[in-house]
Structure 1
Amino acid sequence: MHTVLSTDLSVAILAGIVQGIVEWLPVSSQGNLALVLTLVGTDPAVALQLALFLQLGTTLSAATYYRDEIRTALAAVPGWRPRAAYEGDNAIASYVVVACLLTGVVGIPLYLFAVDLAGQLTGGVFIAVIGVLLIATGVLQFASESVSMGGRTTPTLRDSVLVGAVQGVAILPGISRSGVTTSAFLFRSYEPPAAFRLSFLLSIPASLGAAVLTLLSAGGLPGISLSAAAVALSVSAVVGYLTIDVLMRVVDRVPFWAVCFGLGGLAIVGGGVVAVVV
């Protein structure tokens, strides 16, 4: 299906701005970007694929922002040993590898299911489904706020498996990747700053993998021209880098479970209206 995004660069710019801002907020960047694309006329299945693909831009932002942590993890790779996999600097490298494997095991089947399902849904129903999943994310974040904050900062094998599997579930639009992975760390008694740092470090390889999966499943760029893709990725990278530091501070002050509830409720109502009108 020929989409608005493939011919209208203004929509590509809008998509890049939305992705660059909401990627850092635990309110599902994929779900909200898919909502925006669906509202401007994009087929739901294509909107889902584009929302995953356009995370490449903010992946570049995150890699730049966390370049010191990435450099430390890479420097530990030559000296990595199985017996000391979760000791010292080895812990971050082991965490990323194990968590990414679990993300793929859980996320790939869910992605194929979600794309197939989205292709069968009308725009209104698709929007409502995203709303339900946004509310589910809000419930999880609300529950994690009631957990007594611990002092843990270094991931273990169990943490890697748990967080990797949870991130795989976040392939579904409306499930916030940062929201559910951070909540998982909080449930495991991590300090909030460490939980956010580990969550975003894992987002870099996960987003790269999601983009590759999208390109393979769609047989190329999903309903988007090369020029529009370049614009959207560039805008999301620039906006993402400019906003990550500010929005990371906002996360400590705003109850994002309430934001998820509000956005989810609006999506359910709006999706129902669209479905009835259509």
Structure 2
Amino acid sequence: MVDIITLTLLSIFQGIFEWLPVSSEGISVFLMINLFKLDPTPALSYAIFLHIGTMLAVLVKFRRDFLKMLRFRDTTLLSLVAVTTVFTAITAIPILKTISGFGNGEVVNLLIGVMLIVTGLILRLPKTGKRYLYELGLKEAALLGLAQGFAIIPGISRSGVTVSFLLLRKLNEEDALKLSFIISVPAVIGAVAVSGLPENVTVTSSILAVFVVFVVGYMAMDLLLKFAREVNFSTFCIAFGLLSVVTTTLLMF
């Protein structure tokens, strides 16, 4: 069981790392397994649950866009989000059910390390773009959804993968970031619905955790997004991934 202090610390980490292309889920799971001695399955469940707070921050930040979609005043964006969500489920649900069965912490540590290296390599891909959001086609939205689904694997950065994909499709950076965060909302709702709520967490603790993530995430969003544009996180992901793989391998043998 995760105590209230640990849950609060994890909530702060989630509110910060969600906006950086370093896999907040992977870092949370890694910390819970190695520092707080949780088993992999509940650690993954906690990590997914904490995304509710940053999802609410995205809803508030882009509330005008969501209201337009709900009122069917922006059917183009609504179509892109709907198609992306469907194809995210195609890859994410089977992967989530597979990794939820992992009971070995060392295996999960290795997985996180390898996937962080993959994230780092993705971030190194050359990316420039001048296209606008509404020039994106439904086929591209489907491919974006498939790519986003793989981010359910701890260590794969959802924002890193989706923004990189959109920039590779020549979308401009501002629209790529905006769409990446908007499509995260249904993805988080779906992930929480499939994984379920964490066990042995009280209603009070859950509300506090979501509130802390929301407040930290909303306040830090703009600053950290600006920071992420100026810093090369590819090196960090690869270095942290290699460290995880090497140390876990040494401990196993």
Counterpart of 1:262?
239
Report whether the alignment pairs 1:244 with 2:226. Answer: no
* Structure 1 residue corresponding to 2:111, chosen from 129, 138, 142: 129
**Counterpart Cα distance in 1 of 2:25 and 2:251:** 20
Residue number in structure 2 paired with 1:162: 143
1:153 aligns with 2:133: yes
Secondary structure of residue in 1 paired with 2:110: helix
Alignment of 1:22 with 2:23, yes or no, is no
Partner of 2:68: 72
Instruction: Deviation per CA, 1:205-224: give whole Å up to 9, x if none.
Output: 11111111111xxxx53343
Deviation at 1:230, TM superposition (A): 2.3
CA deviation vs aligned residue, 1:63-87 (integer Å, no higher than 9, x gap): 111112212222326xxxxxxxxxx
SS at match of 2:121: helix
Amino acid at match of 1:231: L
The answer (yes or no) to whether the contact 1:124–1:270 under 8 Å persists in 2 is no
Instruction: Give the counterpart letter for 2:130 in structure 1.
Output: G
Bigger Cα displacement from structure 2, 92-101 vs 230-239: 230-239
Q: Which residue of 2 aligns with 1:213?
A: 194
Q: RMSD across aligned C-alpha pairs, in angstroms? A: 1.6
Taking structure 1 as the reference length, the TM-score comes to 0.85
Percent identity for Structure 1 against Structure 2: 34
Q: What's 2:178 paired with?
A: 197
Return the alpha-carbon distance in structure 1 between the equivalents of residues 203 and 106 of structure 2: 28
SS of residue paired to 1:112: helix
Residues 54-113 of structure 1: CA deviation (Å, up to 9, x unaligned)? 111111111111112212222326xxxxxxxxxxx3211001111101111111011001
Q: Deviations over 1:171-203 (max 9, x none)?
A: 111111111011110111110111111000001
Q: Offset at 1:273?
A: 4.5
| Match of residue 5 from structure 2 | 10
Q: 8 Å contact 1:46–1:223 — kept in the other structure?
A: no
The Cα shift of 1:260 comes to 1.1
Deviation at 1:274, TM superposition (A): 4.3
Letter aligned with residue 258 of structure 1:
T
Q: 8 Å contact 1:125–1:275 — kept in the other structure? A: no
**Is the 8 Å Cα contact of residues 151 and 190 (structure 1) preserved in structure 2?**
yes
Moved over 6 A (4+): none
Aligned to 1:140: 122
1:233 aligned to 2:218? no
- Give the unaligned 5+ runs of structure 2: none
1:214 touches 1:222 (CA, 8 Å); kept in 2? no
Aligned partner letter, 1:132: V
TM-score by length of 2: 0.93
The residue that corresponds to 1:81 in the other structure is none
Q: Unaligned regions of 5+ residues in structure 1, if any?
A: 78-88
Query: CA separation of 1:259/1:113 partners in 2, compared to 1, >3 Å: closer, same or farther?
Result: same
Once residues 269 and 17 of structure 1 are traced to their aligned partners in structure 2, the CA distance between those partners, rounded to angstroms, is: 28
Q: 1:197/1:188 Cα in 2 relative to 1: closer, same or farther (>3 Å)?
A: same
Give the AA of the match of 2:237: C
Q: Does the CA contact (< 8 Å) of 1:124 and 1:273 recur in 2?
A: no
Q: What corresponds to 2:88 in structure 1?
A: 103
Matches within 5 A, 1:26-105: 26-39=21-34, 40-76=36-72, 89-105=74-90
Q: Deviations over 1:24-82 (max 9, x none)?
A: 111111111111111211101111121111111111111111112212222326xxxxx
Three-state SS of the structure 2 residue aligned to 1:54 is helix
Max Rg structure: 1
